[in-house]
Structure 1
Amino acid sequence: MKKIAVFADVQNMYYTTRQAYGKQFNYRKLWQKIEAQGEIIYAYAYAIDRGDNQQQKFQEVLKYVGFDVKLKPFIQRSDGTAKGDWDVGITIDVMEVAPSVDTIILLTGDGDFAILLDKVKDVYHVTTEAYGVPKLTAKALIDACSVFHPIESELLLN
């Protein structure tokens, strides 16, 4: 049975599905789809902790689905801009688990991850997949993964 690791960039998924479709991503439906391909060995969801009650309920849903939720504090800079980026954390986790799985699945449209997918394919000979909103996913990411799954209506909450 194929061993799978899933890495969800929660902020990216939230904003891209909301912008493109006005809906939220359906993590439960995604889990069922991936589980049909093999055994999910690792599943991480990376989110920003704003201490918001509704957000905490959503994080509990992610845990219930099967994700290990990793939180980073929301940082408001003095100039009014915000920081809440998980790119380095996701990259470290992908590199750590890649030797022990057959497939790496990223849920993001962020092109910064293209070099990571190229690296794990070359070094660990894993299949790499990405789920993203087609018009908001970087071409570099689509080109770097073995399989790109466009997020469309069947993976959205009604």
Structure 2
Amino acid sequence: MPAEKVVLLVDVQNIYYTCRQGFGRNFDYNQFWKMATHNADGTPREVVKAIAYAVDRGDEKQKQFQNILRAIGFQVKLKPYIQRADGTSKGDWDVGITLDAMEYAPEADTVVLASGDGDFGILVQRMQHKFNTHVEVYGVEQLTADSLISAADHYVPVQAELLL
């Protein structure tokens, strides 16, 4: 029997801020990779695509982090960080994640989305109905939208084993 095919999509900014707010700690991407690329019974999954969506502020620490993500196996997509004159900022990847999810979901048995953003609830439902794709969501429970948790086929709360 062929291995289950999986697509991994990580909303880096959402995961960073929710882990910091919820636990005061950082997300363990190595452990996430190990968990998301294997079934509950330990059988490996075939990674079709793995993308981490991040904001590029151009600092050296971020570049090192992005290189770590690449070494793990992620393609890193960067969007420039925009600081507006009124003090607000912009740098979200919702549209990019959605476009990639709809592109790669037909090639996968399972899409793993790491984000707590409730805007993705409708995306999860669309992938399930249009492509019959199983969707797993990883997020910090108290900061993950209920609509996203309920839309997912399987929800994995970020807990100690996924934190540094």
Would you call these one fold, judging by a TM-score over 0.5? yes
> What does residue 92 of structure 2 align with?
85
> What does residue 157 of structure 2 align with?
150
Shift of 1:36: 1.9
> What does residue 22 of structure 1 align with?
24
Q: Secondary structure at 1:79's aligned position in 2? A: coil
> What does residue 61 of structure 1 align with?
68
Q: Secondary structure at 1:8's aligned position in 2? A: strand
CA distance in 1, matches of 2:125, 2:38: 25
Tell me if 1:73 matches 2:80.
Answer: yes
Unpaired segments of 5 or more residues in structure 2?
A: 40-44
Mapped contact 2:36–2:112 kept (Cα < 8 A): no
Tell me if 1:33 matches 2:40.
Answer: no
Residue type of the alignment partner of 2:102: M
Unpaired segments of 5 or more residues in structure 1?
A: none
CA distance in 1, matches of 2:75, 2:109: 19
- TM-score, with normalisation over the residues of structure 2? 0.94
Q: Which runs of 4+ in 1 moved over 4 A?
A: none
Mapped contact 2:5–2:46 kept (Cα < 8 A): yes
> What does residue 42 of structure 2 align with?
none
> What does residue 42 of structure 1 align with?
49
Shift of 1:78: 1.2
- The Cα offsets for residues 68-102 of structure 1, whole Å up to 9 and x where unpaired, read as 00000000111111000100000000000111110
Residue type of the alignment partner of 2:64: K
- The Cα offsets for residues 10-44 of structure 1, whole Å up to 9 and x where unpaired, read as 00000000111110000001111122221111000
Mapped contact 2:116–2:144 kept (Cα < 8 A): yes
Quote the RMSD (CA, aligned, Å). Answer: 0.6
Q: Secondary structure at 2:99's aligned position in 1? A: helix
> What does residue 101 of structure 2 align with?
94
- The Cα offsets for residues 54-79 of structure 1, whole Å up to 9 and x where unpaired, read as 01100000000000000000001111
> What does residue 15 of structure 2 align with?
13
